[in-house]
Structure 1
């Protein structure tokens, strides 16, 4: 509903919003003579009449959902990612701007510990995330500490730390449900980084029967094992170097996992067929009544900064270009692997989601 004579707000953003709605079931009504208080105008019944009709029509029909599981092939987010992966001319204003930004980040790595770790291991690496989790600015001098503090306070890293908190909440809820059903709690995390976000969630009151951490990076595995030893958790926690995208690596696990965790991994890879290898692996490994914790990233305000300036730890992919997945897309992929979503958490900026699903 758009008021035709509204002089308080601009019309164009309202029409742009409508034009970009993804649903094929949508209507737009411009109401001539209506001012800013659309539903408070004298002739508001004409607006309510259309609203009432539209809502009743929707509830009289079966729910229609769009299959977005192939969004990595054709979707707005695919187009967006392709554009971000396209090099800019160094002579264009944007190309020059991002070139200068990259130079400043490389320069800052001489003083800022966070920028140094990102430069050496990749800004999407387990080492970088572990540094972000610890959230203690470090540098070679006071200036470096100041730069590092600004780096750690970036909106994306704040969201990552809240995601860690939300994963802890999800682990707690899943463990409570498993205990209530008299089931053991055997945890399998397939891309743990250094494992800090899982280990920090373990308390004397919230201790699983076993925890199996995995990562493909030997650097992460070594750091994770050291962290396990420091906390004297060797009796229940193990850490192995394993490829999360090989479905064979989920077969015949003993003890059989009842709680799977995948955090921050799928966001790094655009291909849905690839991540289905890991989700189907979870589906193979976790029996009915078990749980899966998974993360998503439907939006990020720094996508171009990440693509133009931040390096990735992935082999053969030096630039960190992310394809956003809508929550609907991520949930459908999880459902296709045999799980049903039951709960979700999200940070206050709406960047990172944490979801809990039960194996059907």
Structure 2
């Protein structure tokens, strides 16, 4: 009986979000591209409510204020600070590769902040829509030191030049197989230039995991299931892969950590 009531509640929430919720632009993007997609994160980063009529904008503001999205915006700011530290310690042009970037809005901010000759950024993703969105915005901003390429983050082809920094943001949280993450960390270490740094994120907790897994579809059209892990496990992946100087920092909302590890 209790299980049946819970299932009915989740079904009602899916119905409500899929109907009235679509007045929110953010919810519409989630249903079109997946709530875990780069296009969705790009919209969340902007943090401006849009929707049909006043009620749509109100729904969108509530949606954008959800704790998970607030934490992702805080994670972005922490990532930018970490990357600035890595850029400051390098000599010459710093090559940054993001293997699951989506549109890469925050990377464009860094590319603009430092300019050509200081950093070069390559954004890769499997989501062609997100890549096209990023490319278009980069052209509008006149950025010449950022590029986009279709690619699998878990089976990345080598770059023409070994990256000084590799970023994996928001990907490992979506993978349920720990061994796949461990293999990815080891593979990315082999791609880095000597002394290069891997920067990756981990979700350590989320108070809305069940709601997300029961209501929100991911980019494949399935319900979005995530897995939280302790930061100690994330650091162990890096140590076991042969990295040194492994450290982690937590964003201000407290759901994600950013780990840095040196080859």
TM-score range, shorter chain: over 0.9
Question: Secondary structure, in 3 states, of the residue corresponding to 1:201?
Answer: helix
Counterpart of 1:150 (choices 23, 47, 62) is 62
Distance 1:258 1:98 in 2: 45
Contact 1:331 1:341 in 2 (8 A): no
How far apart are 1:206 and its partner, in Å?
6.7
Distance 1:195 1:348 in 2: 21
Q: Per chain length, whose mean CA-contact separation is higher, i.e. which structure has more relative contact order (CA < 8 Å, sep 6+)? A: 2
- The answer as to 2:99 corresponding to 1:190 is yes
RMSD between aligned alpha carbons?
1.9
* Number of the residue aligned with 1:352: 256
Aligned ranges 1:39-118 → 2 under 5 Å = 92-118=4-30
- Structure number having the greater helix percentage: 2
Aligned ranges 1:1-360 → 2 under 5 Å = 92-178=4-90, 182=91, 184-205=93-114, 208-234=118-144, 236-247=145-156, 249=157, 251=158, 253-314=159-220, 318-359=222-263
Distance 1:167 1:303 in 2: 23
Contact 2:239 2:246 in 1 (8 A): no
Question: Secondary structure, in 3 states, of the residue corresponding to 2:89?
Answer: helix
Distance 2:147 2:68 in 1: 30
Question: Secondary structure, in 3 states, of the residue corresponding to 2:123?
Answer: strand
Where in structure 2 are there 5+ consecutive unaligned residues? Answer: none
Question: Secondary structure, in 3 states, of the residue corresponding to 1:92?
Answer: helix
Question: Secondary structure, in 3 states, of the residue corresponding to 1:116?
Answer: helix
Distance 2:44 2:125 in 1: 18
How far apart are 1:279 and its partner, in Å?
1.8
Rg larger for: 1
Contact 1:90 1:99 in 2 (8 A): no
Aligned residues: 262
Distance 1:205 1:258 in 2: 15
How far apart are 1:258 and its partner, in Å?
0.5
Distance 1:333 1:223 in 2: 33
Distance 2:45 2:190 in 1: 31
Contact 2:235 2:246 in 1 (8 A): no
Distance 2:131 2:121 in 1: 14
Where in structure 1 are there 5+ consecutive unaligned residues? Answer: 1-88
Structure 1 residues 120 and 103: alpha-carbon distance in aligned structure 2, compared to 1, 3 A threshold = same
Distance 2:106 2:239 in 1: 25
